[in-house]
């Protein structure tokens, strides 16, 4: 009999066989960074950190997987997971809400599960939780633990890491289990509804990319609690409003393959039917620092912008927004060469920098691009400002209801960032040699991959963001046909189809 999770995840007993998508898709890439493995020896007594179910103990060395921990880089922080976890790396060291014990909870990518490693002297290290002034140590009985307590490891002030040996650790290198070629797979998680509502079903879909996707199994969780629900995709029905974190855990060949997980955070609305919403605002009727000039091809006869100065903005005031959520903003503009723009909304905290294609004309041919923007209920001011590249001569924006239907044709791949047009491939079609251009925030890691439609990875390249990137690829040895070029970031994935035609 199938288990259920009434408080978090309501899955239909019969998994959906087909999926008709409406609204946008949000893609989050899995945590698949390379790992190093260590045993953690406590400085005060030479005992070892040991994983037991969901708790942590300090014990004498036993040379067992329970004393081996994986360290994976997530930006400048560490994700720390035990090798004997029931999900082999899906559970992670997690600061609990009460700042008390340090348990092992399902990894969801939140700040409470990320740790800054600092040197504490004499070859030891300590760990500080991201965004806090708390670390962890063995606080009972001078570091020796307490069998009557749930866990020997507790949260301590970060300042104590440099003082007490019970908060300092020696890292001893260990060998991580070897992975075979069949473990070459990555997971993304998508939703059929970016603005889900209370008690209204929507679909979560896990997508596997890589040569090792055959035989991958999926288990689902919500709010970090395993559901015992398996299969893919899953139809879920949110039981309450507010933020819910959904997680899919992908497993294969438990003896050699590390489990992969992907995460999705959704804000569940109150279920009130939203009225239809549509509003267009002209640039010449809005505040801005660009010149207003007439143009017979403009929607209302005028535009804003200066041809040889990209650093111009327009503030569009959108009124009577019915509910907070993700809205579609269609910008109509002219640009002789490709501009980079920033779109921001002060009241919602939204800010996004992206490249949009050139219209290849300053005053004759206009172009429209759609951007997904978070708005608050009521009045919002959307600022669109040039930040580089060609100048952008703005004509107007049109804002539409986030629940308007968007039909996705068979075989198409859509990500949240596709509307940004950040990723370009040229020439396309090609004989196998092509160049890609995209924007990646400075310091942000990403993987660039070329895959077949069946999911086989032909090429992979890891990079660190530095703004606008231009990269060349050569897959001339590949058979003629359709391929996918992917930019896999920490919180989304961009995809473009490429055609090799000889």
Taking the domains of the chain in order of start, what are their residue ranges?
A: 35-174, 179-268, 278-400, 418-500
pLDDT over 60 at 178, yes or no:
no
pLDDT at residue 427 tops 70: yes
Q: Which residue has the higher pLDDT, 22 or 147?
A: 147
Give the DSSP H or E segment for 292: strand 292-294
Identify the pLDDT of residue 409. Answer: 24
Q: Which of these, 231, 238, 225, lies nearest to 192 by C-alpha position?
A: 238
pLDDT band at 402 (very low <50, low <70, confident <90, very high): low
Q: CATH top-level class for 418-500?
A: mainly beta
Report the alpha-carbon distance of residue 246 to residue 223 in Å, rounded: 6
pLDDT at 414: 30
Please, are residues 367 and 301 in contact by the beta-carbon 8 Å criterion?
A: no
Q: Which has the higher per-residue pLDDT, 381 or 65?
A: 381
Report the C-alpha gap between 277 and 402 in whole angstroms: 8
Q: What is the DSSP letter of 479?
A: P
How far is residue 369's CA from residue 425's CA, in Å, rounded to a whole number? 17
Residue 166 has pLDDT above 60, yes or no: yes
Mean pLDDT of the chain: 78
Give which of 83, 85, 107, 84 is closest to 94, Cα–Cα: 107
- More confident position, 397 or 100: 397
R_g of the chain computed on alpha carbons: 25
> pLDDT tens-digit profile of 135-151?
999 988 888 888 888 78
271 pLDDT band (50/70/90 cuts)?
low
Report pLDDT for 13: 26
Confidence of residue 420 (pLDDT cuts 50, 70, 90): very low
Report the alpha-carbon distance of residue 108 to residue 236 in Å, rounded.
Answer: 18
Q: What are the distances in angstroms from CA 360 to CA 246, 290, 333, 336, 367?
A: 43, 20, 11, 4, 9
Rounded Cα gap, residues 154 and 102, in angstroms: 5
- Taking residues 434-463, report their average pLDDT: 82
Q: Are strands 393-400 and 445-452 parallel, antiparallel or unpaired?
A: unpaired
Q: Which pLDDT score, from 0 to 100, does residue 228 have?
A: 54
Which residues have C-beta within 8 Å of that of residue 485, sequence separation ≥ 6? 423, 425, 436, 448, 449, 450, 473, 495, 496, 497, 498
* Homologous superfamily of the 179-268 domain (CATH): Immunoglobulins (2.60.40.10)
Residue, of 97 and 459, whose pLDDT is higher: 459
Residue 32: pLDDT over 80: no
Is the confidence at residue 255, as pLDDT, over 90? no
Residue 436, SS3?
A: strand
Q: Is the pLDDT of residue 56 over 70?
A: yes
Hey, is 325 helix, strand or coil? strand
Neighbouring residues of 63: CB distance < 8 A, sequence distance ≥ 6: none
pLDDT attached to residue 311: 93
Going by their DSSP bridges, the two strands 186-191 and 202-209 should be labelled as antiparallel
Look at the alpha carbons of 88, 89, 94, 100 in this order and tell me if their dihedral is positive or negative: positive
Round to whole Å and give the CA distance between 204 and 449: 24
**What does the pLDDT read at residue 430?**
83
* Residue range 89-115, pLDDT digits in tens: 457 888 876 667 788 776 667 788 899
State pLDDT tens for residues 293-338. 988 888 888 999 999 999 999 999 998 888 887 788 999 999 999 9
Give buried/exposed letters for 30-58 (b at 16+ CB in 10 A, else e). bbbeebebbbbbbbbbebbbbbeeebbbb
Q: What pLDDT score does 391 carry?
A: 94
pTM: 0.39
35-174 architecture in CATH? Trefoil (2.80)
> 65: exposed, middle or buried (C-beta count within 10 Å: 0-12, 13-18, 19+)?
middle
Beta strands in 48-185 (DSSP E): 48-52, 55-59, 69-74, 77-82, 91-93, 104-106, 115-121, 124-129, 134-138, 153-157, 169-174
> Among the CATH numbers 3.40.50.300, 3.40.50.11540, 1.10.150.530, 2.60.120.260, which is that of 278-400?
2.60.120.260
Task: Please tell me if the domain spanning 278-400 has the same topology as the one spanning 418-500.
Answer: no
Confidence bin at 352 (pLDDT 50/70/90): confident
pLDDT of 233 over the 70 cut: yes
Residue with tokens 């530095």: 466
Spatial distance between the Cα atoms of 501 and 324, rounded to a whole number of angstroms = 46
Residue 166 CA to residue 139 CA, distance in Å, equals: 7
Predicted local confidence at residue 236, as pLDDT: 84
In 122-181, at which residue ranges do the beta strands (DSSP E only) sit?
Answer: 124-129, 134-138, 153-157, 169-174
pLDDT of residue 25: 27
């Amino acid at each position: 009999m199938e288990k259920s999770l009434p408080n978090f995840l309501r899955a239909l007993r019969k998994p959906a066989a087909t999926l008709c998508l409406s609204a946008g898709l949000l893609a989050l890439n899995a945590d698949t960074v390379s790992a190093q493995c260590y045993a953690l020896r406590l400085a005060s007594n030479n005992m070892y950190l040991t994983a037991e179910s969901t708790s942590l103990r300090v014990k004498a060395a036993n040379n067992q997987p329970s004393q081996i921990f994986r360290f994976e880089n997530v930006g400048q922080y560490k994700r720390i997971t035990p090798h004997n976890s029931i999900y082999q790396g899906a559970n992670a060291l997690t600061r609990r809400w009460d700042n008390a014990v340090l348990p092992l909870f399902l990894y969801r990518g939140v700040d409470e599960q990320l740790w800054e490693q600092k040197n504490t002297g004499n070859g030891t290290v300590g760990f500080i939780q991201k965004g806090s002034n708390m670390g962890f140590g063995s606080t009972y009985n001078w570091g020796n633990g307490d069998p009557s307590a749930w866990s020997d490891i507790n949260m301590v002030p970060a300042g104590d890491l440099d003082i007490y040996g019970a908060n300092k650790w020696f890292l001893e290198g260990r060998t991580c289990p070897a992975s075979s070629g069949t473990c070459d797979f990555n997971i993304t998680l998508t939703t059929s509804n970016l603005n889900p509502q209370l008690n209204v079903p929507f679909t979560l879909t896990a997508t596997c990319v890589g040569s090792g996707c055959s035989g991958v199994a999926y288990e689902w969780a919500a709010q970090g609690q395993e559901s015992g629900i398996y299969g893919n995709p899953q139809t879920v029905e949110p039981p309450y409003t507010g933020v819910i974190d959904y997680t899919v855990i992908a497993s294969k060949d438990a003896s050699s393959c590390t489990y992969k997980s992907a995460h999705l955070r959704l804000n569940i609305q109150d279920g009130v039917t939203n009225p239809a919403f549509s509003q267009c605002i002209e640039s010449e009727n809005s505040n801005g620092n660009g010149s207003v000039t007439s143009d017979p091809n403009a929607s209302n006869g005028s535009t804003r912008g200066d041809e040889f100065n990209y650093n111009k903005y327009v503030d569009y005031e959108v009124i009577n927004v019915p509910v907070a959520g993700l809205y579609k903003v269609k910008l109509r503009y002219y640009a002789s060469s490709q501009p980079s723009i920033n779109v921001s909304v002060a009241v919602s905290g939204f800010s996004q920098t992206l490249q949009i294609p050139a219209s290849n004309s300053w005053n004759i041919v206009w172009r429209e691009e759609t951007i997904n923007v978070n708005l608050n209920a009521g009045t919002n001011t959307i600022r669109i400002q040039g930040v580089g590249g060609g100048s952008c001569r703005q004509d107007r924006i049109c804002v539409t209801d986030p629940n308007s239907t968007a039909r996705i044709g068979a075989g198409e791949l859509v990500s949240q960032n596709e509307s940004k047009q950040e990723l370009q491939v040229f020439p396309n079609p090609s004989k196998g040699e092509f160049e890609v251009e995209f924007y990646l925030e400075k310091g942000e890691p990403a993987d660039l991959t070329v895959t077949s439609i069946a999911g086989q990875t032909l090429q992979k390249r890891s990079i660190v963001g530095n703004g606008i990137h231009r990269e060349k690829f050569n897959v001339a040895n590949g058979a003629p046909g359709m391929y996918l070029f992917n930019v896999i970031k920490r919180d989304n994935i961009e995809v473009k189809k490429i055609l090799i035609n000889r």
